[in-house]
Amino acid sequence: MQNHAFIGRQPIVDLQQKIIAYELLFRHSADASTAQITDDLSAGTNVLVNTFSNMDANWLLGDKLAFINIAAPMLESDFLELLPAKRVVLELIETVEATPELIARIQSLRQLGFRFALDDFDHRPINTDLLPIADFIKVDIHELGLDRTATLVRSLQGVSAKLIAEKVETRTEHKFCKELGFHYFQGYYFAHPETLSAKIINPAHATVLTLLNKVRNNEDVKEIENGFKADVALSFKLLRYINSVGFGLSCEIQSIRHALAILGYQQLYRWLTLLLATAGNDSTPPALMKTAITRGRLTELLGQSYLEKSDRDNLFIVGIFSLLDAMLEMPMADILEKLYLPDTICDALLTRQGVYGPFLALSEACENSDPKRIEELADSMAMDPDMVNKAHMEALAWVEQLGIG
């Protein structure tokens, strides 16, 4: 099922068995209990995209930390800067080698607020060299056995990092690890990993590539905004990412341009590259995409004589997002819970009420070729039916120029 995102999530608990974090694990399907990984980088990028663009990070994590497995290629990539540093623990897998370049990269990420865990620690030289940078040390008690686990823990007594016992499966093992001095615990004794899923809509490869080139060439923000307007999935993912945990915004995103201004060109380039690395061929069906973009443009044009510029930008979002329930196959109210859009936009999308509602309702009437409803709505807004017709023709022509479907 290519049009769904899957992620495994296993809790990490403290001495009182309260959940303090989740380890996020790549999953290729809903019934997978282990990862099917072609390489460490693709597994890492999938976890990043699914957590912060395809799923709602607040729903996935709540107020807990996210432990994410990181191999050397991912550590060296720019993708990590897209994550909310204060919420993420980068879990270095056991093959990560402490080269001078890698240590320098880790130090720069620490300055941004990231914390680090050493996975499957066993005192081999390859991971002992990383001890000074560790905030957490994870010990696989099944791999080592209880005797070697006890020896290892005693050898780590002077280390400031917190110890996490992994693969704790029985009450006896839990008691043993607690008495040894472990701070946190993870394993089947507390919870098996659960696989969570979300329906996703992917942007077209070509659109992402075009935008990447525009951003690389520092083109005008208007050009980049138009690129987003040509792809519903991209607009949706942009607002979902901006509103994901970690941005700590005190204001609502008012438009696509507003979101682009907050992100900035460098962060936008990283984000688009990450999307490109994980995009499948399952982009939104062209007919549905075309309908949504036409509706967005028409809603915007219908309001141009009535509303200020910032409101017209919102009208475009109202139009294109009005089909998200069809694209994501879920109720509009559930989608809006995770997008944090202004109330005026939500009112229009849920009830066709408020300042934007009538313009959206009129767009839908034009789409359905319902002359009676068009006349009724146009009259209520003191709008000339010829003007409505002209706006509809203009919207259709604009979308044809975009070359969708």
Q: What is the CATH number of the domain that holds 76?
A: 3.20.20.450
Tokens of 138: 């994870």
Are the C-beta atoms of 29 and 39 separated by less than 8 Å?
no
Q: What is the pLDDT of residue 48?
A: 64
- Structure letter (DSSP) for residue 51: I
CA distance 381 to 377: 6
* pLDDT average, residue stretch 262-278: 79
- Predicted confidence at residue 389, as pLDDT, reads 87
**pLDDT above 50: residue 251:** yes
Is residue 172 domain-shared with residue 229, that is, in the same domain? no
User: Which CATH number do you get for residue 267?
Assistant: 1.10.3210.10
- Give SS3 for 26: strand
Q: Classify residue 137 as left (phi > 0), alpha (psi -120 to 50) or beta.
A: beta
Last residue of a domain, one of 175, 198, 221: 198
If pLDDT is split at 50, 70 and 90, which confidence band does 62 have?
Answer: low
Residue 85 sits in the same domain as residue 232: no
Whether 174 and 245 map to the same domain: the answer is: no
Pairing relationship of beta strands 136-140 and 162-166 according to DSSP bridges: parallel
- 323 and 179 in a single domain? The answer is no
Do 47 and 169 reside in the same domain of the chain? yes
Based on the fold, state whether residues 233 and 160 are members of the same structural domain. no
Instruction: Give the chain's end-to-end CA distance (angstroms, integer).
Output: 23
Q: Which two tokens stand for residue 187?
A: 């394993």
Q: Are residues 144 and 239 in the same domain?
A: no
125 and 252 assigned to the same domain: no
| 186 and 219 housed in the same domain | no
For residue 30 the two structure tokens come to: 């809903």
For residue 244, pLDDT over 70 is answered with: no
What is the average pLDDT across 34-59?
Answer: 51
Same domain, 214 and 104: no
Number of H helices, E strands in the chain: 20, 9
Split into its structural domains, the chain has a count of 2
Residue 281 token pair? 């061929």
DSSP symbols for 215-249 = HHTT--HHHHHHHHHT-HHHHHHHHHHHTSTT---
| Burial of 267 (C-beta count, 10 Å sphere; 0-12/13-18/19+) | middle
Query: pTM of whole model > 0.85?
Result: no
pLDDT averaged over the chain? 80
Cβ proximity of 48 and 83 under 8 Å:
yes
Give tens-digit pLDDT for 99-145: 889 999 999 999 999 999 999 888 776 667 788 889 999 999 998 99
Q: How far apart are CA 197 and CA 108, in angstroms?
A: 33
Residue 282 belongs to domain spanning: 205-402
Looking at the structure, tell me whether residues 50 and 125 fall in a common domain: yes
Taking phi over 0 as left and psi of -120 to 50 as alpha, with beta for the rest, 159 belongs to: beta
SS3 280: coil
Q: Point out the domain boundary residue: 198, 221, 238.
A: 198
The answer to whether residues 70 and 136 belong to one domain is: yes
Tens digits of residue pLDDT in 296-348: 889 999 998 888 877 877 888 899 889 888 877 778 988 887 676 788 999 99
Please give the Cα distance from 189 to 337 (Å, whole number): 33
Cβ count near 288 (within 10 Å): 15
CA dihedral in degrees (394, 296, 375, 353; nearest 10)? -160
Characterize the bridge pairing of strands 136-140 and 19-26. unpaired
C-alpha–C-alpha distance, residues 9 and 328, integer Å: 22
- Element (DSSP H or E) covering residue 189: none
Q: 242-263 b/e with 16+ CB inside 10 Å = b? A: bbbbbeeeeeebbbbbbbbeeb
Q: Which of 198, 218, 236 is the last residue of a domain?
A: 198
